[in-house]
Structure 1
Amino acid sequence: MYEKITPPSTGSKITFNNGEPIVPDNPIIPFIRGDGTGIDIWPATQKVLDAAVEVAYKGERKISWFKVYAGDEACELYGTYQYLPQDTLTAIQEYGVAIKGPLTTPIGGGIRSLNVALRQIFDLYACVRPCRYYAGTPSPHKNPEKLDVIVYRENTEDIYLGIEWRQGSEIANTLIEYLNKELIPATPEHGKKQIPLDSGIGIKPISKSGSQRLVRRAIKHALQLPKHKQMVTLVHKGNIMKYTEGAFRDWGYELATSEFRASCVTERESWILSNKEKNPDLTPQANARMIDPGFDAMTEEKKAQIVKEVETVVNAIWETHGNSKWKDKVMVNDRIADSIFQQIQTRPDEYSILATMNLNGDYLSDAAAAVVGGLGMGPGANIGDQCAVFEATHGTAPKHAGLDRVNPGSVILSGVMMLEYLGWQEAANLVKKGLGDAIANRQVTYDLARLMEPPVEPLKCSEFAEAIIKHFS
C-alpha cells in the first residue's frame, strides 16, 4: 500500500459515522513535521501532547504517531517536486485524523498551495480557528481578554477554488468577449457595465450546499458552548455581492430556521418576540415600525412585507420561543465583513462563532489572532465529514529553523483542538492550563519575551514545552 513509509505496528484506525469520529483508545495519527521551523516545533508539540495524554489517562489511552511527508521534506525522500506524495494522501485517508506543521508553498507550476490542496482533496470544508487570549501574552490591544471567538471559514469554494485565467490568455479573452457582448447586456441590472479587455478573470462560486454544511457545523459547535456563548454570526459582503455573499447569509438563516428551528432564533426574530413580550397588545404594524426604524419612509409594498414578517414569526414560534424562551436558543445574526473587522476590536465580547466564506475568513482569522497575540498562538483545524487535519497557522520561517528558538504554541494549540475533536477533553484541558500558566509566569519564547514589559529572558522552543508540562499539576 505504501512506497516509502510504514504504519506503526500498534494502534487502531479512527472511523467516522455521520461526520463524527469514532475514536479508539490507541488511535494511529499521521503527522507531518513541517518545513523550516517544523524541525523544532513538532518535537516540542509531540512531547507536550504525549505527556498530557499520559497524565490524563494513566496509560489507558495513547497516540501511535505515524510519520508521513509533505513539502520540502517529502522532496528529499520521494524526489524533486514530490511535495505531496501519494503515500501521505493514502495515510491521511486511511487513518482519518492528522496534524501538521507549517509547509512551504511550492515555487513554479503545479500545486499552488499544499494547505489548499489538502483541504480540497479531502473535502475539508470547515477551517476552524479559535482566537482566545492567554493571560500575560503581549498584545497590541488594551483588553485582548475580551475577544474569545471561533472563526468557521468555508474552505473549498469562493475565489480560493482557484478557477482563474491569466490576462491576455485565449480563454480569458474569449470569456471577456462573451460576457461583454452576450451575458452582461442580457442582464438589465448590470446596465452598461463592461469588463476591461486587459483583465485577468477569476470565478467566485458560492453554493447553497457548501454554505449550509459550514453553517450546520458552526451551529452544532455553538450548541456545545456555555449558554452565554451560543451565538453564530454570518459574516458576508452581501450588500455588494448579493448572489454569492448575500446568498451565503440567506442560506445560513434558512438552515438555522428549518433544520435547527427548535434550537435557534435569529436576531430579527428576537426583536419581534421581545417587543411583543414588553407589550402583549402591540400590533404587527407597531412591531414592524420598531424593528425597522425607516418603516414610515418605505413604500407600501415594503411596509406590507415587514408586517407580514412580524405576523409570520409570531404565529410560527411564539409558543416555542416567546416569553423569553428565545434567550436560551442559539442566536444567529449577520454582519457585513468590513464592519466585523472593527467590531472584534471595539465590541469583541459581543461575538462567539463567526461563520464566513473563504476569503473573508482568511483575513478575519488572522486579524482576530493579532488581537490575542499573533499567529504564533493561533491554532487551526480543517474538518470534513470523513477526515480532519490540524495545522499550524503561521509560515515556515526558514531562517529560524534548527535554532530551537521559535514559539511552538500554534501547533501545540492545534494539538489541543485535535484532542478535543477526539473527545479527550481532560488531556486538552491539561495542555491549555500548562500553556496558560507558563505564559502567566513569563516563561515564553523570544517572540513573546521581547514584547513583555519589562522584557524577560526567553526560553528555547524545547524549554517552553518543558515549562508547559511542569504546569500540568
Structure 2
Amino acid sequence: MRQVTLIPGDGIGPEITEAVKAIFAAANVPVTWDEENAGQTTFEAMGELIPASLIASLKKNTVALKGPITTPVGKGFKSVNVQLRQMFDLYSNVRPAKTTKGVNTRFENVNSVLFRENTEGLYAGLEMFDERLQISDSVARVTRVGCEKIIRAAFVYADKHGCKKVTAVHKANILKSAGALFLGVFNEIAKEYPNIQADDKIIDNMCMQLVAKPEQFDVIVTTNLFGDILSDLCAGLVGGLGVVAGANIGDEMAIFEAVHGSAPDIAGKGIANPTALLRSAIMMLHHLDMKDEANRIEAALEATLANKEECTGDLGGKAGTMEFAQNIIAKL
C-alpha cells in the first residue's frame, strides 16, 4: 500500500477530488490518502497558504495529487504552484495532449507530450522596478543545469515510450544568449539519442505549426514561459484544460495536478468535470509502477467519454460529477 499526499484545493477541487477517490476505491488501487490542503481556503482558515503540515506530508510521501488551487489576488502572495515547484525543485512540467474519442475538436490524431522547464526562465522571480522612471525589468534566468535537466527528461521519456521525435522550442534568433544556451544544450544531448529524430522550432512558428498540423509533433521541450503558453494551446487542440493531465516532477518528488482553475462560479453545484484530475491521477499510477490499475481506469474513462450522455455538461452530457464517476466505475 502506497501513501500519497492529497491536496483537494479550492473551488471545485474538493468535488472532483471526491470523484477520483471513489474511482480509486472501486478499482482497488493500493493507495492511501494523506490529506492536506493549501490555497485560499486554507489561508482563510489557518492564516497560511502552504501549511507546515502539508510540507511535512510532501517530504514524507514524495508523491502528491493536487486539485486546482486559488492564490489570493492583489495581496502580494506568490503563486502556491510556483512556490511548490521551486521549493522542491520540480523542474519538469509534463503535459500530455491526446485526441480522445467522443471529445469533439477540430483535429484528429493529436498525440504529443510537452516538457516545460518549471523553475527558472521569466518565472524565476527576478524583477526590479524603478519607481522614479516607472520602468520594470524582468530577468529570464536560463542556466545550463536547468536546460540539461529538462531536455534530458524529454529525451529519456521519448526513449522509454518509443517516441520518434523530440522538438525544442526557442527564440534563439532574438534571445541570443538565453536561446542559444537552450538550443546548444539540446543539440548536445540529442547526439546521445541517435535513434530519436531531433529538430527545433522558433516559438512563433511553433504556434502556427501546432494549429495547422499538430499531429506532426511527438515530444516537445521548451523553457518556462513558452511552455506555459504552448501547454494550454496543446490542451485546446484536444478539448481544453478540463480533459488534460499535468505533472510537476523533480528528482525526489512528483506532484500530479489538475491544470485548470478552481472555477468558483460552479463550486458546490456538483457539475464539475473530474477528467483532468483523474487523468493526472492515472499519470501518477504509471509513475508509481501501478500500470495495471492505471490502464483499467484509463480504459473505463475513455469508454465513458466516448458516450456523451454519460458525461458532464461541458462535454455535452447531463451527468453530475459523481454520476460521471459512477459511469466510469461501472466500466472498470
Residue 165 of structure 1 corresponds to which residue in structure 2? Answer: 128
- Alpha carbons 1:83, 1:106 under 8 Å: kept: no
Match status 1:439 vs 2:305: yes
Distance 2:176 2:301 in 1: 43
- Alpha carbons 1:40, 1:403 under 8 Å: kept: no
Helix, strand or coil at the partner of 1:458: coil
Residue 65 of structure 1 corresponds to which residue in structure 2? Answer: 33
Q: Report the residue type matching 1:156 in the other structure.
A: T
Q: How many Å apart are 1:76 and its aligned residue?
A: 4.5
Choose which of 9, 16, 24 in structure 2 pairs with 1:41.
16
Q: Show the 5 A alignment for 1:263-282.
A: 264-265=193-194
- Alpha carbons 1:135, 1:145 under 8 Å: kept: no
Q: How many Å apart are 1:108 and its aligned residue?
A: 3.5
Q: How many Å apart are 1:110 and its aligned residue?
A: 4.5
Helix, strand or coil at the partner of 2:108: helix
Residue 177 of structure 2 corresponds to which residue in structure 1? Answer: 243
- Residue by residue over 1:187-242, the C-alpha shift from the partner in whole angstroms, topping out at 9 and shown as x without a partner, is xxxxxxxxxx542111111001000111111111001223xx33111111111102
Distance 1:424 1:400 in 2: 33
Helix, strand or coil at the partner of 1:65: strand
Choose which of 402, 425, 442 in structure 1 pairs with 2:268.
402
Residue 7 of structure 1 corresponds to which residue in structure 2? Answer: none
Residue 219 of structure 1 corresponds to which residue in structure 2? Answer: 155
Instruction: Give the structure with the larger helix fraction.
Output: 1
Q: Show the 5 A alignment for 1:85-96.
A: 85-96=51-62
- Residue by residue over 1:93-116, the C-alpha shift from the partner in whole angstroms, topping out at 9 and shown as x without a partner, is 121000110000222444320011
Residue 119 of structure 1 corresponds to which residue in structure 2? Answer: 85
Distance 1:51 1:343 in 2: 42
Distance 1:390 1:255 in 2: 27
Distance 2:118 2:77 in 1: 16
Distance 1:245 1:41 in 2: 39
Distance 1:71 1:349 in 2: 37
Residue 73 of structure 2 corresponds to which residue in structure 1? Answer: 107
Residue 415 of structure 1 corresponds to which residue in structure 2? Answer: 281
Describe the shift of the 1:250–1:469 C-alpha distance in structure 2 as closer, same or farther (beyond 3 A).
same
Q: Report the residue type matching 1:86 in the other structure.
A: A
Q: How many Å apart are 1:145 and its aligned residue?
A: 2.5
Distance 2:129 2:331 in 1: 53
Q: How many Å apart are 1:48 and its aligned residue?
A: 1.6
Q: How many Å apart are 1:246 and its aligned residue?
A: 2.3
TM value normalised by structure 1: 0.68
Residue 364 of structure 1 corresponds to which residue in structure 2? Answer: 230
Name structure 2 gaps, 5 residues minimum: none
Helix, strand or coil at the partner of 2:122: helix
- Residue by residue over 1:50-77, the C-alpha shift from the partner in whole angstroms, topping out at 9 and shown as x without a partner, is 333x2xxxxxx61110011101332244
Helix, strand or coil at the partner of 2:230: helix
Helix, strand or coil at the partner of 1:112: coil
Q: Report the residue type matching 1:256 in the other structure.
A: A
Distance 1:44 1:167 in 2: 49
- Alpha carbons 1:232, 1:352 under 8 Å: kept: yes
Length, aligned pairs only:
331
Helix, strand or coil at the partner of 1:49: helix
Describe the shift of the 1:246–1:406 C-alpha distance in structure 2 as closer, same or farther (beyond 3 A).
same
Q: Report the residue type matching 2:17 in the other structure.
A: W
- Residue by residue over 1:13-36, the C-alpha shift from the partner in whole angstroms, topping out at 9 and shown as x without a partner, is xxxxxxxxxxxxx11101111100
Q: Report the residue type matching 1:236 in the other structure.
A: H
Q: Report the residue type matching 1:207 in the other structure.
A: T
Q: How many Å apart are 1:378 and its aligned residue?
A: 1.5
Distance 2:281 2:25 in 1: 10
Structure with greater Cα Rg? 1
- Alpha carbons 2:40, 2:71 under 8 Å: kept: no
Helix, strand or coil at the partner of 1:200: strand
Match status 1:464 vs 2:324: yes
Q: Structure 1 stretches (4+) deviating beyond 4 angstroms?
A: none
Name structure 1 gaps, 5 residues minimum: 1-25, 55-60, 170-196, 266-328, 450-456
Describe the shift of the 1:50–1:333 C-alpha distance in structure 2 as closer, same or farther (beyond 3 A).
farther
- Alpha carbons 1:47, 1:465 under 8 Å: kept: yes
Q: Report the residue type matching 1:254 in the other structure.
A: E
Distance 2:65 2:41 in 1: 15
Distance 1:198 1:157 in 2: 25
Identity %: 36
Distance 1:369 1:165 in 2: 33
Match status 1:255 vs 2:122: no
Distance 1:32 1:334 in 2: 37
Distance 1:408 1:167 in 2: 44
Q: Show the 5 A alignment for 1:2-151.
A: 26-52=1-27, 54=28, 62-78=30-46, 80=47, 82-139=48-105, 141=106, 144-151=107-114
Helix, strand or coil at the partner of 1:204: strand
Residue 292 of structure 2 corresponds to which residue in structure 1? Answer: 426
Residue 312 of structure 1 corresponds to which residue in structure 2? Answer: none
Q: How many Å apart are 1:86 and its aligned residue?
A: 1.2
Distance 2:249 2:86 in 1: 11
Instruction: Give the structure with the larger strand fraction.
Output: 2
Choose which of 371, 378, 383 in structure 1 pairs with 2:249.
383
Match status 1:201 vs 2:68: no
Distance 2:14 2:37 in 1: 13
Helix, strand or coil at the partner of 2:21: helix
Distance 2:56 2:189 in 1: 34
Q: How many Å apart are 1:425 and its aligned residue?
A: 1.2
